[in-house]
Structure 1
Amino acid sequence: MKKNIIILLAFFIVGLTACEDELNQVPISAISSDGFFTSEKGFEQAINGVYKSLSSYPERQFHLSDVRSDNIYGVGSMGVRAHEPVNNFALTLATNEYMKEAWNTNFTGIMRANTVLDNISEDLVPDATKRNQFEGEAKFLRALFYFDLLKYFGPVPVIDHLVTPTEALEIGRNPVSEVYDLIISDLQDAASLLPTSYTGDNIGRATSYTAKGILARVYLTRSGPVLHTDGPCLETNDYTQALSLLNEVIGGPFDMLDDYAATFDLLNENNSDIVFDIQYQKGGLGVGCAYPGELAGSAYWRSVGYPYAIGLETKDVSFDLINSYDTINDARFAFNVQMGYVDESNGQYVEDPVTIKFSRPDPATWGADRFDFGINFPILRFTDVLLMKAECILQGAPGSQADVDKIINDVRARVGIEPLSNATLDDLLEERRKEFLGEGLRWHDLVRTGKVLDVMNAWIPVEDVADQMRKSINADHIIYPIPQEQMDVKEGLYSQNKGYE
């Protein structure tokens, strides 16, 4: 799939609230009349264009989830960078570049998916298997983009068909419950339409297992306690439904690898622990990954002899997280974290603990520049599926304490640490924190379990040695503000999320 899936199509660039130059491009509704959607090949290229909207997903999850959480202490010394107000819980985030990117990129992906869904038909794609696959992929990806938007912004406009920029100006934000309705419907359809696996270059596309696993995560999130009236949790108690879906994935062709590091090996991609990941290809083709550069920062990359400029500041792994590891026995610690390095610019040792899970000092993973790393990024791993099953049971779904303990201890045994007994939800969250560092899950885990305010308000006063962060957070900080440029498009169309300036 690396050869096929990440193909950027020029006419899929237009966003819902595009700038004037973008609005002067060919209208989206005119694509079919231009002859693009006349063959199966055209639809395949269009679907690849939808996948392309996932390109910046890793950086977004890191900055808006890991950096926001107790995993990363993102206070730097190189002047205020865009990630610092996110880390510090600033109230002025409406103008932050990460808000803009999260909104625009996800809605661009939704528009691309809608373009496929509005044009596909039996006449244009007579092969029912292929037609189902294209429809299933488009619905899966649309649901994934909407789930991302919902977790970060709460209510957002629900747009399930192509609209003109003028029509978009009349569409307000839908309640979270209605956004969930579309997400769940799309994922249910995708699960029934998609195949269970692919071969050859198509390996890596979304499967029915992928749709079921993400739907289980959706149910888990929707079931969480309501801390914010417009947040992603609705206390729907969907834990049994989530468990059923997770068991279906567990019955599929997946397994944890014996070696934690092998899960992230460039030469072992699409292994049995991967249910769905973003496919990247190095080689100067514009389809590589920029995330490793963002993850570790410039000084680290200089220390390992990386030949290209990075120009990014280190975001330190928090000492609270470091201290939670068994640093001697837990194989994840040495693989995920490097406690310091020698800055080649001055020969000085830098005591910056950096996340190196995807930032390996291995030239085999390096491409033509810092935007061209080849390593894939997992959106859903089998290990996550297992731990979500344990979470469902701890939240009241059918199962026993023995089932929970076995799952957690299998994960611990794989990395060489002692078993637990009578594991609690807090134990589970700590295991997830160490397992998924750098994979963008921590903030979402804390929100959906209702632990976010207690955990963060205990962590901030201890970790914030530079005295830069808000002293305590409240429910308003669970979601982010609507980007200011969206607020400015049409006065009164949206109201800003509570607590933001």
Structure 2
Amino acid sequence: MNKIFLAFLALGIFTSCEKELDQQPISDPTTETFYAIPNDFIQGANAIYSTLRGYPDRQLNLSETRSDNLYAVSDGGVRDWEGINGFHRNLVANPYVAEAWLTNYNGINRANVLLEQLEKNGSIVTDEALRGRLQGEARFLRAFLYFDLLRWFGRVPLVDRVITASEAAAIPQSDIAAIYDFIIADLQTAIPLLPANSAYAGVDRGRATNAAARSLLALVYMTRSGPNLGVNGAGLATNDWQEAASLLDEVINSGEYHFLEGAGAYTSIFSYDNEYNSEVVFDIQYTTGQNPVAGGTFAWLLAPDTWFNANGHPNQGGLTIRPVSNDLLNAYEPGDIRKSFSIQTGYVFNGAAEQRSFFKKYIDLSRVPNNREDWPINFIVWRFTDILMLKAECTLHGASGSQQEVDEVVNRVRARAGLAPTSQVDLAGLMEERRKEFAAEGSRWHDLTRSGLVEQVMTNWIEKEDVQSRIDPFQLNYTLYPIPQAEIDAKPGVYTQNAGY
């Protein structure tokens, strides 16, 4: 935990909550006068980071819940996540979908403001390395946010500068290829400007590094190289696997990150007392005990109130269980330590046994905060295991490396989980191993769409899992979410709704 996100709370120009893209703050006298000393630019960067606070929640709501990892039907009332899991067509007003759009564009606007001010007034920051780093952070974060939007919505408006409200209302959706070009250009600019992880200490830990930018750029290339599913989605079949592999090799060979091995290694990655372990390539940082609150909310979203109550804690807000699917439960081999650590398989409350399972990874019952919105644990976006397995994926697509190297990576992961080695790992096998390794970490839906396995996997999963007939038939259109209806209504004739909604 650190204080990287706290500085933005003092900035009046950044604390408004934008409701529409065309209501985003534009360059005005307040902004102009704010950037007066070097620390103002640092706070401007912190304001961008602050928009990542809900990123883990978004990955739970839109990735894990959309995938075959959860059979997310409730036992009372209608929850906003049920339509996500059930492939409902009426998601145009879903609050999780709207949050993804609004928050990402809020962050993009803040990045545009900082980049404009660096260009106009950057001489105020006399430390050239700091000035370059701030530009690199802004470009990395803008790329990060656009990549998030692209994977959820496909064609989105490309806003590359500070704009007026009337300009925002007229900007149409851009082609997928153009959005990728923009993201790639931002990251290629950011990489040489950002320092290594070892350059950061104290309150600066958690800022973007050149390894984080390389990791993101590699994943961008891999996602672009995924199959074109015919829905204006993220896959363009561009065959950039070697470009991605080379970037991942640079991270692997940097010597800054390490695969944790040995007894207890897997669980230690997520320990509240080991947040800066050598697996972490980039994470979302939180600090607790602040006013206003600057902790996380992800952990309590995973588990129901009655489980917290059964363990002596007050309600957190999880009114019901978002159940782990039987398919995922059965996917774990006997003895796989990742299952018991990641998933709670039943409990007893007030003498009644609850049989359904739910994710508990990232929850430490000895660290439950007084405020449910103030959980202290950082959320890992990419860890070294992910980098190794992404490189193996590139190899399976023809990039440098061998089948033996792919098997070695998977077997290191399996050995840490307490499992016997395997051989001749193919793409489906790699994705299944990733499913168990990264359960509850938000990667499953992205893995399915990037690999092109999504239609086969989800169709088969619905057939055997949906015993309550709560999930609609899968369509490739549902690899994207709808453009929020509020955005469509605010800009008549400017946006085209994604097919299927």
Same fold (TM over 0.5): yes
Structure 1 residues 368 and 165: alpha-carbon distance in aligned structure 2, compared to 1, 3 A threshold:
farther
In structure 2, how many angstroms separate the alpha carbons of the residues matched to 1:168 and 1:19? Answer: 7
Q: What amino acid does structure 2 have at the position aligned with 1:60?
A: R
Tell me the residue number matched to 1:337.
Answer: 343
Asked if 2 retains the 8 angstrom alpha-carbon contact of 1:293 and 1:312, the reply is: no
Tell me the residue number matched to 1:485.
Answer: 486
Structure 1 residues 39 and 477: alpha-carbon distance in aligned structure 2, compared to 1, 3 A threshold:
same
In structure 1, how many angstroms separate the alpha carbons of the residues matched to 2:393 and 2:386? Answer: 10
Which of 241, 254, 257 matches 1:254?
A: 257
Q: How does 1:67-216 map to 2 (within 5 A)?
A: 67-121=65-119, 122-197=122-197, 198-216=200-218
In structure 1, how many angstroms separate the alpha carbons of the residues matched to 2:58 and 2:404? Answer: 36
Q: What are the Cα deviations for residues 381-438 of structure 1, in whole angstroms up to 9, with x where unaligned?
A: 1100000000000011121100100010011111110111111111100110001011
Structure 1 residues 264 and 309: alpha-carbon distance in aligned structure 2, compared to 1, 3 A threshold:
closer
Q: How does 1:40-51 map to 2 (within 5 A)?
A: 40-51=38-49
Choose 114-123 or 426-435, whichever is displaced more.
114-123
Which of 309, 317, 320 matches 2:324?
A: 317
SS of the counterpart of 2:339? Answer: helix
Structure 1 residues 233 and 192: alpha-carbon distance in aligned structure 2, compared to 1, 3 A threshold:
same
Tell me the residue number matched to 1:244.
Answer: 246
Deviation at 1:39, TM superposition (A): 1.3
In structure 2, how many angstroms separate the alpha carbons of the residues matched to 1:381 and 1:158? Answer: 29
Asked if 1 retains the 8 angstrom alpha-carbon contact of 2:157 and 2:171, the reply is: yes
Deviation at 1:5, TM superposition (A): 3.2
Asked if 2 retains the 8 angstrom alpha-carbon contact of 1:297 and 1:313, the reply is: yes
Deviation at 1:32, TM superposition (A): 3.4
Deviation at 1:282, TM superposition (A): 1.9
Deviation at 1:29, TM superposition (A): 3.1
Structure 1 residues 284 and 342: alpha-carbon distance in aligned structure 2, compared to 1, 3 A threshold:
farther
In structure 1, how many angstroms separate the alpha carbons of the residues matched to 2:378 and 2:31? Answer: 33
Which of 270, 295, 298 matches 1:288?
A: 295
Asked if 2 retains the 8 angstrom alpha-carbon contact of 1:32 and 1:38, the reply is: no
In structure 1, how many angstroms separate the alpha carbons of the residues matched to 2:260 and 2:76? Answer: 40
Give the aligned CA root-mean-square deviation in angstroms. Answer: 1.6
Asked if 2 retains the 8 angstrom alpha-carbon contact of 1:4 and 1:201, the reply is: yes
Structure 1 residues 451 and 192: alpha-carbon distance in aligned structure 2, compared to 1, 3 A threshold:
same
Q: What amino acid does structure 1 have at the position aligned with 2:72?
A: G
SS of the counterpart of 2:282? Answer: strand
Asked if 2 retains the 8 angstrom alpha-carbon contact of 1:6 and 1:279, the reply is: no
Asked if 1 retains the 8 angstrom alpha-carbon contact of 2:139 and 2:190, the reply is: yes
Q: What are the Cα deviations for residues 111-131 of structure 1, in whole angstroms up to 9, with x where unaligned?
A: 011110000144221211000
Asked if 1 retains the 8 angstrom alpha-carbon contact of 2:4 and 2:49, the reply is: no
Q: What are the Cα deviations for residues 122-169 of structure 1, in whole angstroms up to 9, with x where unaligned?
A: 422121100011000000000000000000000001111101111101
Q: What amino acid does structure 1 have at the position aligned with 2:329?
A: I
Q: What are the Cα deviations for residues 308-333 of structure 1, in whole angstroms up to 9, with x where unaligned?
A: 4424321111111111102x411111
Deviation at 1:295, TM superposition (A): 1.1
**Structure 1 residue runs without a partner (length 5+):** none
Tell me the residue number matched to 2:309.
Answer: 302
- 2:405 corresponds to 1:403: yes
SS of the counterpart of 2:281? Answer: strand
In structure 1, how many angstroms separate the alpha carbons of the residues matched to 2:135 and 2:58? Answer: 26
Deviation at 1:307, TM superposition (A): 2.4
Structure 1 residues 426 and 14: alpha-carbon distance in aligned structure 2, compared to 1, 3 A threshold:
same
Deviation at 1:301, TM superposition (A): 1.8
Between the two proteins, the alignment pairs up a number of residues equal to 490
SS of the counterpart of 2:353? Answer: strand
SS of the counterpart of 1:151? Answer: helix
In structure 1, how many angstroms separate the alpha carbons of the residues matched to 2:222 and 2:269? Answer: 25
**Structure 2 residue runs without a partner (length 5+):** none
Tell me the residue number matched to 2:455.
Answer: 453
Asked if 2 retains the 8 angstrom alpha-carbon contact of 1:222 and 1:233, the reply is: yes
In structure 1, how many angstroms separate the alpha carbons of the residues matched to 2:161 and 2:18? Answer: 12
Q: What are the Cα deviations for residues 19-63 of structure 1, in whole angstroms up to 9, with x where unaligned?
A: 99x77xx75433333x21111100111111100000000010111
Deviation at 1:475, TM superposition (A): 1.2
